[in-house]
Amino acid sequence: MKQIFVNLKRFDVPRRFGGICPLENPKVWVEEILDKSIQYGLGTLKDSNVTYMLPEALIIPAVEKLSSYPEAERQTLHIGCQGVFRENVQVGGNFGAFTTNLPAAAAYNMGCTSAIIGHSEERKDKQGIIGSFEPEWNRDKDLRERAAKAVDDLINQEVLCAFKQGMDVLLCVGETAEERGEGTFEEQQQRIKKVLKAQLERGLKGVQEFLPQRQIVIGYEPIWAIGPGKTPPGKEYISFVSAYIKDVVRELYNFDIPVVYGGGLKEENAPMIASIDTLDGGLVALTRFTGDIGFEPEGLKKIIEIYIN
> Could you give the residue numbers annotated as active site?
119, 221
Q: Which of 258, 231, 230 is nearest to 246 (CA)?
A: 258
Closest-CA residue to 204 (of 245, 254, 253): 253
Count Cβ neighbours within 10 Å for each residue of 103-117 and write b for 16 or more, e otherwise.
bbbbbbebbbbbbbb
Give the start-end residues of each E strand in 91-187.
114-117, 168-173
Cis ω before 233 (30° cut-off from 0): no
Of the candidates 194, 162, 160, the one whose C-alpha atom is nearest the C-alpha of residue 178 is 194
Task: Identify whether the C-beta of residue 51 lies closer than 8 Å to the C-beta of residue 85.
Answer: no
**Euclidean distance between CA atoms 258 and 277, whole angstroms:** 11
Q: Residue 262 and residue 221: Cα distance in Å, rounded?
A: 5
Q: Are 200 and 249 in contact (CB under 8 A)?
A: yes
Chain centroid to Cα 264, Å, comes to 10
Please give the single-letter amino acid code of residue 67: S
| Residues 172 and 119: beta-carbon distance below 8 Å | yes
